[in-house]
Amino acid sequence: MSELLRLAGVHVTYQSSGRSGVVRAVDGIDLTVDRGEVLALVGESGCGKTTLIRAIIGLEPMTSGSIVFDGATVATGQRELRRLRRRVQMIFQDPTGALNPRATIYEAVAEGIRIHGLAGPEPELVATALAQAGLRPPERYMPRFPHEVSGGQRQRVLIAGAMVLGPQLLLADEPVASLDASVRGEILALMRVLVDTTGISIVAVTHDLGLAWNIADRIAVMYLGRIVEVGDAEEVLADPLHPYTKALLSVVPEADRMEQQILVGETPDPANVPSGCRFHPRCPLVASGEAERLGIIDRCRSVDVQLVASPGGRRSVACHAVRLPNDG
Partner 1 sequence: MTILELRDLHVTYKSDRGDVPAVRGVDLAIAAGETVGLAGESGCGKSTIAGAVLRLLPRDTIVGGQVLLNGDDVYELKPGRLRAVRWTAAAIVFQGALHSLNPVRRVGEQIEEAIVLHSDRGDAGTHAVRDRITGLLERVGLRPDLARSYPHQMSGGQRQRVLIALALACEPDLLIADEPTTALDVMVQAQVLELLAELQRDRGLALLFITHDLSVLSTTCDRLAVMYAGRVVEEGRTVDLLKTPQHPYTRALARAFPTIGDPRSRMNPSGLGGDPPDPTHLPSGCPFHPRCDMAIEACATADVLLRPIRPDRAAACVHVAVSA
Partner 2 sequence: MSDVASYSPRTAAWARRRRSFSDGISRLRKDRVAMIGLVVLVGFVIMALIAPWMSPRGGLSAVDSINNPTWHPPSRDFPLGTDHLGRSVAAQFVWGSRVSLLVGFAATVLTITIGSLVGISAGFFGGWTDAVLMRLTDWFLVIPFLPLAIVLAAVLDRSIWNIILVIGVTSWPSTARLIRAQVLTVKTRLYVDRARALGASRPHIVARHILPNVAPLILASVTLAVPIAILTETTLAFLGLADPTQNSWGKTLEEAFGAGAIGRNAWWYHFPAGLGIVAVVLAFTLFGRGLEEILDPRLREEGARR
Contact flags string 228-247 toward partner 1, x per CB under 8 A = ------x--xx--------x
Are 325 and 308 in contact, with CB atoms under 8 Å apart?
A: no
Q: State how far the Cα of 285 lies from the Cα of 292, in Å rounded to an integer.
A: 8
Q: State how far the Cα of 277 lies from the Cα of 303, in Å rounded to an integer.
A: 6
Q: Which of residues 134-163 bind partner 2 (CB under 8 A)?
A: 137-140, 142-143, 145, 147, 158, 161-162
Binding segment for partner 1 among 59-67, 100-108, 206-214, 272-280 (CB under 8 A)? 206-214
- Give 29's strand partners: 10
Non-local CB neighbours of 5 within 8 Å, separated by 6+ positions: 31, 32, 33, 56, 67, 68, 69, 70, 169, 201, 203
Under rule CB under 8 A, residue 248 binds partner 1: yes
Could you give phi then psi for residue 111, rounded to 5 degrees?
-55, -45
Are 164 and 41 in contact, with CB atoms under 8 Å apart?
A: no
**Shortest reach from residue 90's CB to partner 2, in Å:** 4
Residue of 18, 101, 120, 328 that binds partner 2 (CB under 8 A): 101
Residue of 11, 30, 35, 57 that binds partner 2 (CB under 8 A): 57
Q: State how far the Cα of 318 lies from the Cα of 304, in Å rounded to an integer.
A: 9
Residue 117 region by backbone torsions, left for phi larger than 0, else alpha for psi between -120 and 50, else beta: left
Residue of 127, 165, 187, 203 that binds partner 1 (CB under 8 A): 187
Cβ closest to partner 2, residue 122 vs residue 327: 122
* Secondary structure letter of residue 7 according to DSSP: E
Under rule CB under 8 A, residue 100 binds partner 2: yes
- Give 232's strand partners: 218
Peptide bond into 137 cis (omega under 30): yes
Contact flags string 95-134 toward partner 1, x per CB under 8 A = ----------------------------------------
Q: Which of residues 229-248 bind partner 2 (CB under 8 A)?
A: none
The amino acid at residue 273 is V
Kindly report the number of other CB atoms within 10 A of residue 21's CB atom: 11
Q: State how far the Cα of 41 lies from the Cα of 230, in Å rounded to an integer.
A: 9
- Give 256's strand partners: none
**Shortest reach from residue 127's CB to partner 1, in Å:** 20
Binding segment for partner 2 among 104-112, 200-208, 241-249, 266-274 (CB under 8 A)? 104-112
Q: State how far the Cα of 228 lies from the Cα of 28, in Å rounded to an integer.
A: 11
Under rule CB under 8 A, residue 259 binds partner 1: no
> Which of the listed partners (partner 2, partner 1, none) does 92 bind, with a CB threshold of 5 to 8 Å by partner kind?
partner 2
Residue of 117, 266, 326, 328 that binds partner 1 (CB under 8 A): 266
Under rule CB under 8 A, residue 202 binds partner 1: no
- Give 218's strand partners: 39, 232
Q: State how far the Cα of 212 lies from the Cα of 204, in Å rounded to an integer.
A: 9
Residue of 55, 62, 99, 222 that binds partner 2 (CB under 8 A): 99
Binding segment for partner 1 among 80-88, 148-156, 164-172, 291-299 (CB under 8 A)? 148-156
Under rule CB under 8 A, residue 166 binds partner 1: no
Q: State how far the Cα of 45 lies from the Cα of 8, in Å rounded to an integer.
A: 23
Please report, as ranges, the residues that interact with partner 1 according to CB under 8 A: 44-45, 150-153, 180-189, 192, 207-210, 213-215, 234, 237-238, 247-249, 251-257, 260, 262-264, 266-267
Please report, as ranges, the residues that interact with partner 2 according to CB under 8 A: 57, 59, 78, 81-83, 85-86, 89-90, 92, 94, 97-104, 106-107, 110-112, 115-116, 121-124, 127, 137-140, 142-143, 145, 147, 158, 161-162, 165
